Amino acid sequence: MITIKSATDIARMRDAGRIAGNALALAGRELKAGMTTKELDTIIYDYIVKCGAKPSFLGYGGFPASACISVNNEVIHGIPSSKTVFKEGDIVSVDVGAFYKGFHGDTAATFGVGKISDEAQKLLDVTKHSLELAIGAAVPGARIGDISSTVEEYCRSFGYGVVKKYCGHGVGRKLHEEPEVPNYGTKGHGQRLLAGMTIAVEPMINIKGDDVRVLKDGWTVVTRSGSLSAHFEHSIAIATGGAIVLTAPDI
């Protein structure tokens, strides 16, 4: 069931989203070659807890860390480890959630470690812009398919693959709520957007091919082609004046 949030609910979601967004921004600033994914996860955990919140992902479905940290051809759900060390030229997708005063904020971004290739930078730029375009399409009266097709059409125009197996979602008191928000679809189709709906929009885009597979750890999703993948996400509220980004950082 889709839940419509009150103005008070949305204000509380903005508080949770700000914590998640700030934790993500902090991770992006601290990320450097020679650091392990576990060390970055600890930075994220410490910040969220310092804010009086809880990491949404820690223990969720058995996930063992505070953030999903996915490197290069890893799409999502990478498990932080003391054995995985960032190298110059890597791209790193960091997915962060914070639970605060009854609501979740969910956000993600992909960062470069030092100087990255032009190919990688273009992937990051296109994926991030597809999220911005999708947020612009999220207005009352539009449909989920308007968001989905916006992401797909823009990213396909660069020859990129669009992950279909995983998608965005409603967000609120639960980390994952209805409706699903795919990154592919048809304009004018799907659930109609209403003011007060809150959703997480999250393009997951591969340089080559749509297909992905899950590694033996049961969590880490990688591109089947072996190509790089990027992931950007914001939690947003549908509003009459245009979507409100709930996970924008302020640090």
What tokens does 67 get? 């953030």
pTM assigned to the model: 0.98
Amino acid 166: pLDDT: 98
- Nearest CA to 51 among 80, 79, 78, 20? 20
Return the DSSP state at 221. Answer: E
Amino acid 56: pLDDT: 98
Calculate helix-pair angle for 144-156, 118-137, nearest 10 degrees. Answer: 160
In DSSP terms, 145 is beta-bridged to none
Mean pLDDT of 177-195: 98
Percent of the chain with pLDDT over 90: 99
CATH no., domain 7-245: 3.90.230.10
**Cα(101)–Cα(40) distance, integer angstroms:** 25
Amino acid 32: pLDDT: 98
- Nearest CA to 95 among 12, 207, 200? 200
Amino acid 44: pLDDT: 98
Amino acid 135: pLDDT: 98
**Cα(74)–Cα(157) distance, integer angstroms:** 22
Calculate helix-pair angle for 7-30, 37-50, nearest 10 degrees. Answer: 140
Tell me the per-residue pLDDT of 52-111, one tens digit each, with 9 for 90 and over. 999 999 999 999 999 999 999 999 999 999 999 999 999 999 999 999 999 999 999 999
Mean pLDDT of 170-188: 98
Amino acid 196: pLDDT: 98
- Side by side, the strands of the sheet bearing 234-237 are 177-181, 168-170, 198-201, 234-237, 244-245
Largest Cα span, the chain: 48
Amino acid 167: pLDDT: 98
Q: Are 128 and 233 in contact (CB under 8 A)?
A: no
What tokens does 131 get? 């999220």
Return the DSSP state at 62. Answer: G
Question: What is the average pLDDT value for the chain, to the nearest integer?
Answer: 98
Amino acid 178: pLDDT: 98
